[in-house]
Amino acid sequence: MAPLVGRREEISRLGHALSVVDGGGGVFATVIGEPGIGKSRLLDHLATTAADTHRTVLFGRATEFERHQPFGVLIDALDETVETALTADPALADGQTKNLLMPVLPALRRHGNGGGVTMLAGNDRVGRCRELRRLLRRLTTARPIVLLLDDVHWVDQSSAEFLDYLLRHPTDPRLLIVLAYRPIQLPSLLAHSIDRAKANGWLEEIELPPLSIGEAAELVVPTMSSRELRATYKASGGNPLYLEAISHQRTKRGVSLDKVDLPLPALLVAELPAMSTDGLHLLQAGAVLGDPFDVLHAAALAELDNPAAGVALDELSERDLVRPTGSVRVYRFRHPLVRSAVYSQAKRAWLVHAHKRAVEQLRGRGVSVVGIAHHVAQAADLGDLDAVAILEEAAGKVVMRAPATAARWLGDAERLLPQSAETDPRRMRLLGRLADALGRSGQLAESSRRLRDLVKLVPADRHDIRVPYICGIAEADHLAGRFDRARAQLQTELHALSQGHPREQAALHVSLATGAFLRGALTEALDYARQANTLTSDDASPGRRLAALSAHAITAAATGDMQTAAEASAKASAIADSLDDEQATDQLVHLGELAWANYYLGLHDQALRVAGRAAELARRTGHVSTLPYLLLCECKAHQLAGRLRQALDVASQAEEIARLNGSDDHLSMALAAKAEAVIWIDGSTEPATQLAVRAVAAAGWRTGVAGRKAVFVLTEITLATGDAQRTARQLVAASGGPTLPAWPLTSQPRVFELLTRTALAAGDIARAQRWVAGAEQAATHSALGGLSYANRARAWLNAVLGDHKLAAELALAAAEGFGNTGFPIEEGYARAVAARAFTSANADADAAAELRRIKRIAQSCESTRLARLVDRNINAIPRSSAASLAERDPYAALSRREREVAALLATGMTNREIANQLYVTIRTIDAHVSRILRKLDVPSRAAVVGLQLSSGTTQG
Ligand SMILES: Nc1ncnc2c1ncn2[C@@H]1O[C@H](COP(=O)(O)OP(=O)(O)OP(=O)(O)O)[C@@H](O)[C@H]1O
Ligand SMILES: [Mg+2]
C-alpha cells in the first residue's frame, strides 16, 4: 500500500481531538467525502496513531451487503473488547446490562446468564441504547476510548438508532467517536441527528477535499509521464481511489489514456478480465462471503483445492485487489467498491450457485438461520418454499431486537412465495408478521400498507378475520392523525356486517370511539363506546369486555358523566387485574384508555399502576407504537403530583420512542409534556418555550388531541413571557370554539382559567368574565380539581377588578382544593395568587404565611418557578407601607393617562395605533412613552411589557 499522502490539516485536527479526550473531554467527529476520497485511509491512520497502551481503540466497519445484520458495525467494534473486559471484571455487566444487551453483544451471551438476568429484554430499543451508552462509559473508566466506525452510510438500522441516541447528548468524557461516511448515502435518521448535533456544537466535521496534483503525483506509479499524470489527475478529480485504479490499468506501454475517462465502477471492473479464472472465482467467492473474508472458506466456495487457491490468492494480492488484515487467512478488499465491482460483474447464475453453496457451508459450520438468511434471500428463486421457511424462521429470531431486519427478510419471503390461491393462507400469515415487524420498527405507514394488502386476501364474508386487521389499520391511521380515513373504513366495514357478528361490531365500535375521542368529537365517541359496551355486555372474552369498558370509561369521564365512568372503570380495572401478561399484551391500547380514564377520574395511583404495567409489557414485547401514549399518562400523573423530575424523565422517554416510531402526534404530546415539566423546574421560560414551539410544529396542521395540548402549553408559557393573545385565539380554535367542546370536560376548567388570564392580560374584562363563567360551569361536572381551577380563575378576575379580599379568599379556596386533590404545584400557584392579593389588601402577615407555604412546596417539588414566585412576592411586601407603594405597584408613579398608554403598550400596539385608539396625535404618544420609560426606569418598550406582565396580578 502506498504511504499516506497529504492530509496534514485533517491529521492535526484528529490529533487535537485525541489530546482533548486524553485530557478528560469527549469528542464526536465525522470524516466525510465522496467514495474513495480517503476516509477509511484516514481512519486507519488515526487507529494506528491512537493505538497506545493508555487508550483503547475500537474499530468497526459497516458493509454494503451485510447492512441488515442487526448491530453489525457495533458488534464488529465492541464485542472483542467487551469480552476481554468481562473476563477481567465480570462486574462490568450487571443484571440490567445483560438483560438489555445480551441480544446485541455475543460476548455477553458467552458470559452466560449469572448476575440476575431475569427476563428477555424484548424490544426496548431506547432502554438498550441507554444501556449501551452506560457500558461504553464504564469501559472508559479504565482508559480513554477511541471508537472508529467506518462506512457508516451502510449502517444497519439498530446501530443507526444507537448512534442517533448518542448524538442527542454531548459526548461522554474520555470518549472519541469518529464516524466516516459518504454524506449522500447516509440514512436520513442519522443525517438529521448529525445535523442537529452539529448545530448544537458537539460534533466536529472533517470534510476531505481532493488531493492536489502534487499529492496525486506521489500516489501514482513513479514512471508516469507528466502528460499522463495531467490526464490522469484531470479524470480522477484528485480522488485517490480513482488515481489508484488508473494506475492499476497501466500496462507496459503506459497508462491507456482511453480508459482514464471511464467512471469509477467501470474502471474497477476493467481491472478484472485479464485475470485467471481461478483468481476471478476466488475473488467472487470472497465478494459473496463478506468483507473481510476467510480465504479458506472462499476457496471452498469457488471449489478450488489448496494449491490452486494459493496461486489465485497470490495473484489477487499482487494486483492489490485484496489486502491482508493481520488475522491469519483473512483478507479484505482493497476498497468496498472493488467488492461491489466484482460482485456486479459476476454472472447471476454463478452468484446464485455460490450463495447456495454458502448456505450449505455455513450450515455445515453450524451457523444459525440468522447468519445464513442473507445468502438464502440472494440464492432463492421465486417459489422456493424452503427459502421462505428459512427467512421466516430467521425473521422470527430477530424480530424482537432488530424488527427492521425481520421486516426485510419477511418481505423477501413474501416475494418468493408463488401467487396462487393455495399459498394465500401462508401469504396472509407472512403479511401479518411483516406488518407487525414493520410496526415494531416504527415504519407505521408501511405497516398499514401491508395490512391493507392482507385485508384484500381475506374473503369478504370472513369478518372474524377481517375486522381485527381493519382495526389494526385504523390504529395506525389514528397514530398518523388520519382520522377521517380511519373512520370511513371502519364505518364501511360496519355497514358490510350483516346482522349478528356482535364481537366484530363491538371491535369496530371501540375503534370508532377511540378515533372520535382522539379527534375531539367526544359525544360521538361516547355514543360508539356505549354501543360497544352493550354489544359486549355478555361477552365472555375478557379482552373484548375490557376494550369496551375502557372506551366507555374514558368517553363518559370526558363528557362529564363521572358516575358511569367510575363504574365502567372499576369493572375494567377488575378485568385488567385478572389478565395474564399475554392477554394484557393484546390489550395495550385499551389499558392505555383505562389508565387515562382513571386519570380523568382523579384516581392517579390507579392510573399509574395500569399505565405502568402496560408500558412494561409494551417494552418487553416490542409493541412500542402505543408506548408513548402509556408513558404520557404516567407523566401526567407525576406532573400533577409534583414529581417534576420524574415527569420530565418519563416525557423524555416518550419523546425518544415517538421519534423512533415516527409518530408526530406522540412526539408533539411528549414535547408538550416536557415543556410543562420544564417550565416549573426551570424557572426560566426559554427552554420551555422552545419545547412548546416544537410541540406545536410536530402536531402540524392536524387538529385532535396533540394539536390542542400543544397550543395549550404554548399559550401558558407565552403568557408568562409576553403577548399570548395570538396563541390564545389558536387555542380557542383548536378547542372547537369558545365552549371548548373538543376538551374533555374534566380538563375544561383548566383551559378556561388559562383563557381568563390571557383575557385579563389584554385588559378585556368582559371576555375574562365569560371565561370564568365557562370554568365554573365545567367545574360542576369534573374531578381533577375542576372547582379549584374555576375558583382560581375568579380570583384572578377579582384581583384585577380590585376586590383583593375576595380574590384572596377564592385563591385560598382553590389552594385548599388543589391540596386535597394532591396537586401541589397548582396549590402553590394558587397560594401565589392569594399572597399577591393579601399584599394588595395590606394583609402582609397573611401574605407572608402563604409565601412560607409556597416555599415549602417549591422545595419538595424542586420547582424553581414556584421559588421565584415567592421571591417576587416577597419583594412586593412592604417593610414600611409608605416607602414601598411604588414597589408594590410599579405604575404608581404614572399619571392616569400614562397608565392608559402603558396598558396599551403592553398589548404590543405601536405608538400610531395607540394614538388612533386614544384620538390624540402620535407626537403626544411619543412624549407619553418616553416619560413612561423614564418614570418606570426601564430601557425599552419591550421592558414595559415585561414589567406589566411580571408584576400585574394577571400573571404568574
Ligand atoms: N491520502 C492518501 N494517501 C495515500 N493513499 C490514499 C490516500 N487516501 C486514499 N488513499 C487510497 O485510496 C483508496 C481509497 O481510499 P479509501 O478507501 O480511504 O476511500 P474512502 O473515502 O473510505 O471511500 P468509501 O467512501 O468508498 O469508503 C485506498 O486504497 C486508499 O489506500
Ligand atoms: Mg471507506
DSSP structure string for 270-334: TTSTTS-HHHHHHHHHHHHH-SSEEHHHHHHHTT--HHHHHHHHHHHHHTTSEEE-SSTTEEEES
**What Cα–Cα distance (Å) separates residue 557 from each residue in 492, 522, 549, 746?**
28, 10, 12, 7
**What Cα–Cα distance (Å) separates residue 388 from each residue in 394, 407, 412, 692, 939?**
10, 13, 8, 48, 75
417 Rama sector, left if φ>0, alpha if ψ -120 to 50, beta otherwise: beta
Residue 2 inside a domain? The answer is no
Beta-carbon contacts of residue 768 (< 8 Å; ≥ 6 apart): 756, 759, 760, 796, 797, 800
Q: Ligand 1: which residue has its CA nearest to atom 9?
A: 38
**What Cα–Cα distance (Å) separates residue 462 from each residue in 300, 451, 526, 831, 904?**
52, 15, 28, 61, 67
Residue with cell 390624540: 920
Q: Ligand 1: which residue has its CA nearest to atom 25?
A: 35
Same domain, yes or no: 847 and 878: yes
Residue 299, amino acid:
A
User: Whole-angstrom Cα distance, residue 324 to residue 293?
Assistant: 10
Q: Ligand 1: which residue has its CA nearest to atom 8?
A: 38
Counted residue by residue, the chain has a size of 956
Which strand (E) or helix (H) includes residue 448?
Answer: helix 444-457
Beta-carbon contacts of residue 778 (< 8 Å; ≥ 6 apart): 560, 740, 745, 748, 749, 752, 786, 790
Same domain, yes or no: 563 and 632: no
Closest to 30 measured CA to CA, from 141, 159, 182, 145: 182
CATH number of domain containing 73: 3.40.50.300
Residue 479 inside a domain? The answer is yes
Enumerate residues with CB within 5 Å of ligand 2 (an ion).
39-40
Name the domain boundary from 223, 258, 293: 258
Q: Largest alpha-carbon pair distance within the chain? A: 107
- The pLDDT, as a whole number, for residue 498 is 72
Which strand (E) or helix (H) includes residue 473?
Answer: helix 463-479
Same domain, yes or no: 31 and 174: yes
User: DSSP character for 782?
Assistant: -
Please answer whether residues 765 and 800 qualify as being in contact, where contact means their C-beta atoms are separated by less than 8 angstroms.
Answer: yes
User: Whole-angstrom Cα distance, residue 523 to residue 476?
Assistant: 23
Cell of 345: 460483474
Same domain, yes or no: 753 and 644: no
Which strand (E) or helix (H) includes residue 73?
Answer: helix 72-88
3-class secondary structure for 134-187? HHHHHHHHHCCEEEEEECHHHCCHHHHHHHHHHHCCCCCCCEEEEEEECHHHCC
Same domain, yes or no: 794 and 706: no
Nearest ligand by distance to the CA of 182: 1
Please answer whether residues 322 and 332 qualify as being in contact, where contact means their C-beta atoms are separated by less than 8 angstroms.
Answer: yes
Same domain, yes or no: 821 and 795: yes
Cell of 801: 377588578
Q: Ligand 1: which residue has its CA nearest to atom 31?
A: 41
- The pLDDT, as a whole number, for residue 891 is 65
User: Whole-angstrom Cα distance, residue 280 to residue 242?
Assistant: 21
**What Cα–Cα distance (Å) separates residue 500 from each residue in 83, 120, 503, 661?**
61, 42, 9, 37
Beta-carbon contacts of residue 866 (< 8 Å; ≥ 6 apart): 680, 825, 828, 829, 832, 854, 857, 858
Q: Which atom of ligand 1 is nearest to the CA of 182?
A: 25
Residue with cell 481503540: 57
Same domain, yes or no: 56 and 132: yes
Residue 447, amino acid:
S
CB atoms within 10 A of CB 264: 21
Residue 170 inside a domain? The answer is yes
DSSP, collapsed to helix, strand or coil, labels residue 763 as coil
Residue 718 inside a domain? The answer is yes
Same domain, yes or no: 17 and 162: yes
Nearest ligand by distance to the CA of 31: 1
User: Whole-angstrom Cα distance, residue 404 to residue 168?
Assistant: 22
Residue 881 inside a domain? The answer is yes
Bridge partners of 28, per DSSP, are 177
User: Whole-angstrom Cα distance, residue 159 to residue 157?
Assistant: 6
Q: Which atom of ligand 1 is nearest to the CA of 35?
A: 25
CATH number of domain containing 582: 1.25.40.10
- Select from 335, 337, 339, 340 the residue to mutate for testing ligand 1; criterion: most ligand atoms less than 8 Å from CB: 335
Question: How many domains does the chain divide into?
Answer: 6
Q: Ligand 1: which residue has its CA nearest to atom 26?
A: 35
Residue 146 inside a domain? The answer is yes
- Select from 241, 264, 339, 340 the residue to mutate for testing ligand 1; criterion: most ligand atoms less than 8 Å from CB: 241
Could you tell me the distance, in angstroms and rounded to a whole number, from the CA of residue 36 to the centre of ligand 2?
7
Name the domain boundary from 835, 855, 888: 888
> Exposed, middle or buried, 736 (CB in 10 Å: 0-12/13-18/19+)?
middle
Could you tell me the distance, in angstroms and rounded to a whole number, from the CA of residue 402 to the centre of ligand 1?
32
Could you tell me the distance, in angstroms and rounded to a whole number, from the CA of residue 215 to the centre of ligand 1?
13
- The pLDDT, as a whole number, for residue 880 is 35
Same domain, yes or no: 667 and 766: no
User: Whole-angstrom Cα distance, residue 95 to residue 386?
Assistant: 39
Residue with cell 467514495: 35
Q: What is the mean pLDDT of each run of 10 residues along the chain (956 residues)?
A: 88 94 92 93 93 88 84 90 88 82 83 50 72 91 93 91 89 94 88 89 93 89 81 86 79 57 74 85 94 93 93 90 89 87 88 92 90 90 92 90 88 93 90 90 86 91 91 88 92 87 93 93 95 91 94 94 94 95 90 94 90 89 85 93 92 87 88 94 85 88 80 91 87 93 91 95 92 93 83 94 93 94 93 92 91 92 89 55 41 74 76 82 84 70 55 38
The sheet carrying 330-333 orders its strands as 293-294, 330-333, 322-324
Which strand (E) or helix (H) includes residue 32?
Answer: strand 26-32
User: Whole-angstrom Cα distance, residue 178 to residue 208?
Assistant: 14
Closest to 790 measured CA to CA, from 750, 836, 735: 750
Residue 235 inside a domain? The answer is yes
CB atoms within 10 A of CB 398: 24
CB atoms within 10 A of CB 423: 15
Closest to 654 measured CA to CA, from 714, 697, 611: 611
Domain that holds residue 902: 890-951
User: Whole-angstrom Cα distance, residue 320 to residue 221?
Assistant: 14
Bridge partners of 293, per DSSP, are 331
CB atoms within 10 A of CB 260: 19
Same domain, yes or no: 937 and 908: yes
Residue 685 inside a domain? The answer is yes
DSSP, collapsed to helix, strand or coil, labels residue 375 as helix
**What Cα–Cα distance (Å) separates residue 391 from each residue in 106, 394, 397, 429?**
21, 5, 10, 13
Please answer whether residues 5 and 11 qualify as being in contact, where contact means their C-beta atoms are separated by less than 8 angstroms.
Answer: no
Same domain, yes or no: 772 and 726: no
**What Cα–Cα distance (Å) separates residue 624 from each residue in 432, 517, 627?**
17, 21, 5
Alpha-helical regions (H) of 184-225: 188-200, 213-219
Closest to 256 measured CA to CA, from 240, 267, 272: 267
Name the domain boundary from 708, 742, 776: 742
- The pLDDT, as a whole number, for residue 953 is 36
Same domain, yes or no: 474 and 554: yes
Ligand 1 pocket by Cβ (under 6 Å): 1-2, 4-7, 33, 35-41, 151, 182, 219, 240-241, 244, 334-337
CA dihedral (436, 437, 441, 445) positive or negative: negative
Alpha-helical regions (H) of 520-623: 522-535, 542-558, 562-578, 581-585, 588-600, 604-621
Nearest ligand by distance to the CA of 61: 2
